[in-house]
Amino acid sequence: MVDIKATITAIGPEAISPIDPLVILFDEDATVALKQIALLQEFESEDAMSQLTLVPGDQLAIDDQVYHVEYVGEVANDNLQTIGHATLLFTPVPETDRLGNGVYLTPYVKPDFKVGTTITYHTN
């Protein structure tokens, strides 16, 4: 298992909704507009980011809470590898209209994100 670590360095003013069971991640090169709605993550190295590939069955640890990857959208890995972008969804995987950049996780409980939160991507 390979561990790739990232740290949340900024949280946009519109990034966390008390209602929506999701968060949007980007690396620190996000545009000003995207920084308003996203959590910015800094990977331990650019090489690590470019090698990140998630598949169902992998795990993410957000601080001390472990999540299981249920589904990975068709463009999520490409976006993670190039711009650190994915949408983490803490909701069941829908039958249709799955988010292309989505990473669906269980349990369905959105954690409390803060600057300094660590995300460890445990990949096989």
Q: What is the CATH number of the domain that holds 50?
A: 2.40.33.40
Q: Which domain holds residue 46?
A: 2-123
pLDDT of residue 79: 98
Q: Give me the long-range contacts of 65-71 (CB less than 8 A, separation at least 24).
A: 65/109, 65/111, 67/105, 67/106, 67/107, 68/105, 68/106, 69/103, 69/104, 69/105, 70/104, 70/105, 70/106, 71/98, 71/102, 71/103, 71/104
- pLDDT tens-digit readout, 83-92: 999 999 999 9
Say if residue 1's pLDDT is above 80. no
Q: pLDDT at position 51, please?
A: 92
Confidence at 123, pLDDT banded by 50, 70, 90: very high
pLDDT at residue 124 tops 90: no
Q: Into how many domains does the chain fold? A: 1
Say what the pTM is.
Answer: 0.96
